[in-house]
Structure 1
């Protein structure tokens, strides 16, 4: 049994609004917690390890389960798996908000990661399925990129506001009604799709999940874990060749290059936001709220450029957008200790926002081009996974550099590499 389209024909944009809200929540759940960490640590008396795992429990589980989560949508039904994911996300957010101890909080964050790994790839796959023609899909992916940019900025602002007015628990509470609203709206407004059928490749799912967790955690912790992770990923590759219905079939090689480019962009994306906040707060002396407010132009430009990128076509759009991104990063790499917002932040971040929006939308579109409808869930999981894992691996190397400026300059060089590689594929 194969899936070619939802049972209802979608003519409007309301389902896109519902699914884009889910993507907004996934991005929000990362940025809103990062800013609140000092308050969470004080409230639950977290150790350094506990504080790190408040972030890692979500990031590791989310990144590692994206491939199985996307494939589960293909096998069992995209909407069905999406509803399970958003339900888990809502319940785990409530559990984290009510957590009396660090262990309960970290467990809640891990379950939140499971929910996000189920909903993120299936939401994107539903968008690809609901809007199959080139023009409407381009518009839909433009919106997708726009809400991704907006979610990061909203998390920074909401976190500062909620923790100041209420407590750290509010950053989790705020996600519960939004997730429940998405769940109800999806049942009412998004048509059910017909599952592909078959079975989930359990050995492949276990080895790729364990391998990605070990590799990602080992790069910033015990290095033997990274070696184990590579060995497990090698075993995964062997198992895929022998499996009757592999988790990652050979036909997905049609999107291999775009996913490699997305992994490289993930390193640039995560490195930028990680070091930009540190530069603003440690060097320029900004408060977390000030850092969030001064990143608003960046978020706005990502939103606008994503929207425009979904509506234009041409082979040179992606390479040119990446060159603009590289120019902005090179400008930002000056990082003067006495820098001011109008002179040293506004200009470069506007260029960066233009380039990031274009690159995200175009690479997401390329990562689904030529993929059969029955593999849309896997395509959604793959492009999300490559960005997450690429970001984690890239950040582990960027943190070895001696200064914030060197990190931004390395991101600029990496962007130039992506631009060069994309010239043939774009």
Structure 2
């Protein structure tokens, strides 16, 4: 019951990343968004969520994961009410920012609670597997639910459905989940400010690159600010007694490699969703509901595949699974690269979609295990925030790169023209993730029980 309650919240948070994407035309028509302003329905959430994840994770470590989780869910629910009832574009954008704030507070506590509640390694791996299953299917499930609600009722229900779910989670969590031990510490204010502003600047730079190009003034200014702020953050964290992020977490080679590989594959997954949603609607002529339902093979395959992965991790360790998963993601991207105006959903979309689903399941579950392995309980929230920030930045970077490649090959009134080049680049990035995995992820010890070599790198 406790795990189910926590994972229900995680599903709700993940679905809200993309639940409104299929409803954007209706939102634009009703609230009067400009074409450029419409992107902020997605970007406002992404910026607040990605920028505050490190702070949210650290607050959970200091003040208790359950307490911070409940505060985050309460903010998220209240923002969902405001967004669902919004009468103007500005109110909806503000509500999406608040949703991102709530998600950033609650999100790291989800993973931290799963790892700290587990009584042994097998239970932890099962919990992480379910966490990844829910997280992985959340985006595609959001497309399905968003399409259904938009077609059958209104886009507003894409936000208002969070209210009953969030209230149930708030009612149950206190009685089902024991509060974690608090770690009395002073909050690293300078680290929180530089990490938050640096992360926001970095994500905004990637979003700006996708919209305006890599060399636009706003894009370059955002990246410059991100470099300065994140450098200041690292400088501060190395010298402060109680840092926002203990940099020793990054000295583990397997954890660092897992973060890099995870970011690359998350980026390719978000890029696939970004392009295939448009392909289904603009080329195949699918409506909102049918577009959402078209992702059912992805959702179902990920959910089923993750059921078997904990046993595979225990037997083989994460490296062969992650290596195979990155290769499958690369193969799926090459399959999508063959799409053109004459394509049909079956088999040209659904077959690479299933291959892609198996690939990301084989990457996300072992990758999360590799990243969270050996993290002390008192740093579980910070590590969880780091992992989820890594995924947000990876997703934004992936979309920026693939969108830029697509735009460079685009032809007016021919959506398929740029798909080949974009997805080929995606396949190359997935293969680079294969190389990172082979170099950094430790092998399972012979005769061991899932123990992993923990090489250390010095910062």
**What is the TM-score normalised by the length of structure 1?**
0.94
Which of 377, 388, 394 lines up with 2:392 in the alignment?
Answer: 388
Separation (CA, whole Å) in 2 of partners of 1:250 and 1:163: 45
Whether the 8 Å CA contact 1:89–1:116 is kept in 2: the answer is yes
Q: Does 1:229 align with 2:244?
A: no
Q: Which stretch shifts more, 161-170 or 181-190?
A: 161-170
Structure 2: how far apart are the matches of 1:211 and 1:202? 14
Q: Which residue of 2 aligns with 1:220?
A: 207
In the alignment, is residue 252 of structure 1 matched against residue 249 of structure 2?
yes
Task: Report the Cα distance in structure 2 between the residues aligned to 1:105 and 1:196, rounded to whole angstroms.
Answer: 37
Write the mapping of 1:116-135 to structure 2, written as runs, cut at 5 A: 116-135=103-122
Structure 1 portions without partners, runs of 5+: 1-13
**1:404 deviation in Å?**
1.7
Deviation at 1:48, TM superposition (A): 2.6
Structure-1 residue corresponding to 2:337: 333
Which residue of the partner structure matches residue 366 of structure 1?
370
Q: Show the counterpart of 2:76.
A: 89
Preserved contact between residue 202 and residue 222 of structure 2 (Cα < 8 Å): yes
Q: Aligned match of 1:145 in 126, 132, 142?
A: 132
Write out aligned runs for 1:38-117 (5 A): 38-117=25-104
Alignment of 1:231-380 (within 5 A): 231-253=228-250, 254=252, 255-313=255-313, 314-315=316-317, 316-380=320-384
- Contact 1:266–1:386 (CA under 8 A) maintained in structure 2: no
Task: Report deviation, 1:132.
Answer: 4.7
Write the distance in 2 (CA, Å) between the matches of 1:343 and 1:37: 28
Distance 1:405 1:185 in 2: 48
Partner Cα separation in structure 2 for residue 215 and residue 328 of structure 1: 28
**CA shift at 1:349, angstroms?**
1.0
Stretches of 4+ aligned residues off by more than 4 angstroms: none
- Deviations along 1:240-259, one digit per CA (max 9) or x if unpaired, are 12211111212212222211
Matched, 1:412 2:399: no
Residue 367 of structure 1 and its aligned partner are, at CA, apart by 0.9
The alpha carbon displacement at 1:405 in A equals: 2.2
Secondary structure of the structure 2 residue equivalent to 1:245: coil
CA RMSD of aligned residues (A): 1.4
Report the Cα offset of residue 122 of structure 1: 0.6
Partner Cα distance (1:35, 1:408) in 2: 22
Q: 1:335 touches 1:404 (CA, 8 Å); kept in 2?
A: yes
**Displacement after TM superposition at 1:205 (Å):** 0.9
Structure 1 residue 173: deviation in Å?
0.9
CA pair 385-99 structure 1, distance change in 2 beyond 3 A? same
| Number of the residue aligned with 2:450 | none
**Corresponding residue number in structure 2 for 1:7:** none
8 A Cα contact 1:263 1:386, kept in partner: yes
Task: Assess, with a 3 A threshold, how the Cα gap between structure 1 residues 322 and 132 changes in structure 2: closer, same or farther.
Answer: farther
Deviation at 1:228, TM superposition (A): 1.2
- Structure 1, residues 40-89: CA drift from partner, whole Å, max 9, x if none? 11111122343222221111000010011011100111111001001111
The number of aligned residues is: 413
Give how far 1:203 is off: 0.6
Q: Secondary structure at the match of 1:399?
A: helix
Determine the structure 2 residue equivalent to 1:10. Answer: none
**1:1-35, Cα deviation, whole Å (9 max, x unpaired):** xxxxxxxxxxxxx2111111111011111221111
Match of 2:392, SS state, is: helix
Q: Distance in 2 between matches of 1:183 and 1:67?
A: 23
- Structure 2: runs of 5 or more not aligned: 209-217, 410-417, 443-459
Q: Distance in 1 between matches of 2:402 and 2:332?
A: 18
| C-alpha distance in structure 2 between counterparts of 1:342 and 1:34, whole Å | 23
Q: 2:198 aligns with which of 211, 217, 236?
A: 211
Aligned partner of residue 39 in structure 2, secondary structure: helix
Q: Separation in 2 of the partners of 1:232 and 1:384? A: 19
Structure 2 distance, partners of 1:297, 1:306, is 14
Alpha-carbon contact 1:306-1:360 (below 8 Å) kept = no
Counterpart CA distance in 1 for 2:207 and 2:106 is 27
The answer (yes or no) to whether the contact 2:188–2:243 under 8 Å persists in 1 is yes
Following superposition, the deviation at residue 330 of structure 1 comes to 1.4
Separation in 2 of the partners of 1:306 and 1:405? 30
Confirm or deny that 1:37 pairs with 2:24. Answer: yes
